[in-house]
Structure 1
Amino acid sequence: MPLPEPAARRHLHTRSVTYHGFLREDGLWDIEGELADVKTYSFDRSDGREMPPGSPIHHMRIRLTVDEDMVIRAIAVSMDSTPFGECQQGKDPMQQMVGVRLGPGWRQAIEKALGGVRGCTHLRELLFNMATAAYQTVFPWRERERREAGIGPQHNTEPPYHLGRCIAWDTTGAVTLRYYPQFFGRPLRRPAKDRPA
């Protein structure tokens, strides 16, 4: 269902954010995020150059390489368009995220390492949702492999990460009853790696 019809308006700005997930041949996973901000009108940069409509004021990419435990093994960053040359200083601090696990405490880890003037606001924003993109890449693929091996969700002995973390995946809800009846109505006991530190 679409949004309600808007009031009369003029389009001024577009922020595009895209994530892609890849299974590498070496068994690791690459999660890539891209952010771009463009205006529909021309404007002057801080250095006095005029930017025509559609020119990105921000255009940034991040690639996280993660292992099966969702621990970051490598990180690559590009900042093709930034409003100030000084923004490029935001790339190097991103290396502090190597060794961090995507999971509970993820946003706090980002803020601790890169918050405030320790990092770039836009890279942080892009990084926040990379954990969700990684989850959407890795776990559905692993579930597919389990199904192909004849191991369905009803055989899980540990609750999946998403159970109990969303209105649809309420442990007393119909979706849980259909897909994970073994956890329906039960308190969840999560592995240590799924609990916040």
Structure 2
Amino acid sequence: MSLSTPVSRRALRHTRAIDIQAFAREDGLWDLDARITDIKVNATKLASGMREGGTPLHDLSLRITVDRQLTIVAAEAVSDAVPYPGFCNTIGPAYAALVGLNLMKGFRHELKQRLSGVAGCTHLTELAQILPTAAVQAFANDVWPTHDAASDNVPHEKPFQLDKCHALRTDGGAVARFYPRWVASKPELA
């Protein structure tokens, strides 16, 4: 299903693109390489000078390295295009503060505690906020099974994705259909 047809003519003015790639490393760790770009169609006058249309206002990258438990063991950030050269692009080393955080255990809260406001870059911190779900997608079927292993005659815990979103709630139809042994029992009426 696509978005509805716009109700009036419109002209593209700005594109924000976010790209995240996950890499399994030979040493057993994983790299998540994330990039955010902001590009205006027309020339833009910034306090620091003119930026030609089609030239990135922001081109920022963040790499975190995680173990198989999703604990960050290394982090680095670079700013290749920024609106205030010599200022914005000096914050990269601050993102080492992510080391030791776990993407699945209070990560977004800790990220804000460590790198919000003047302690970080608004755009890099925003980019970091979406890394937990990107890591889950990367680990699905590669590190964590997403099927119900009961048919494999292997003892298995509840699949990790159940009760993590609307569609896969254990009292819902998708779980009843695709993961029947994990359907939550309905409470009995007194």
Residue 186 of structure 1: how far off its partner (Å): 5.3
1:96 maps onto 2:97 in alignment: yes
Where relative contact order (Cα < 8 A, 6+ residues apart) is larger, the structure is 1
Partner of 1:68: 68
The SS at the match of 2:132 is helix
Bigger mean CA deviation after superposition, 90-99 or 153-162: 153-162
State the partner residue of 1:192: none
1:117 deviation in Å?
Answer: 1.3
TM-score normalised according to structure 2 size = 0.87
Number of matched pairs: 182
In 2, Cα distance between the equivalents of 1:139 and 1:153? 17
How far, CA to CA, are the matches of 2:81 and 2:4 in structure 1? 34
The CA RMSD measured in Å over matched residues stands at: 2.1
Q: Equivalents in 1 of 2:32, 2:185: separation in Å?
A: 33
Could you list the structure 1 runs, at least 4 aligned residues long, displaced by more than 6 angstroms after superposition: none
How far residue 13 of structure 1 moved from its aligned partner, in angstroms, is: 0.4
**TM-score, normalised to structure 1's length?**
0.84
Unaligned runs of 5+ in 1: 188-197
Counterpart position of 1:190: none
Distance 1:31 1:186, change over 3 A: farther
Bigger proportion of residues as helix:
1
Kindly provide the CA deviation profile for residues 21-44 of structure 1, in whole angstroms up to 9, marking residues without a partner as x: 111111111111110000000123
Classify the secondary structure of the residue corresponding to 2:176. helix
Please show how residues 131-146 of structure 1 align to structure 2 within 5 Å. 131-143=132-144
Check 1:153–1:111 CA distance in 2 against 1; reply closer, same or farther (3 A cut).
farther
Q: 1:113 and 1:186 mapped to 2: Cα distance?
A: 41
Which amino acid is 1:33 matched to? A
Q: Helix, strand or coil for the counterpart of 1:73?
A: strand
Distance 2:155 2:11 in 1: 51
Say if 1:181 and 1:133 are closer, same or farther in 2 by CA, change over 3 A: same
Question: Could you tell me whether the CA contact under 8 Å between 2:57 and 2:83 is conserved in 1?
Answer: yes
Helix, strand or coil for the counterpart of 1:170? coil
Aligned to 1:166: 165
SS of match in other structure, 1:185: coil
Deviations 1:157-190 (A, max 9, x none): 4333321121110111122223333321059xxx
Q: Is the 8 A contact 1:153 1:180 kept in 2?
A: no
CA distance in 2, matches of 1:89, 1:153: 52
Tell me how far apart the structure 2 counterparts of residues 122 and 21 of structure 1 sit (CA, whole Å).
Answer: 20
Residues in 1 aligned to 2:124 and 2:72: alpha-carbon distance in whole angstroms: 16
Displacement after TM superposition at 1:51 (Å) = 1.7
Measure the CA separation in 2 of the matches of 1:118 and 1:102. 20
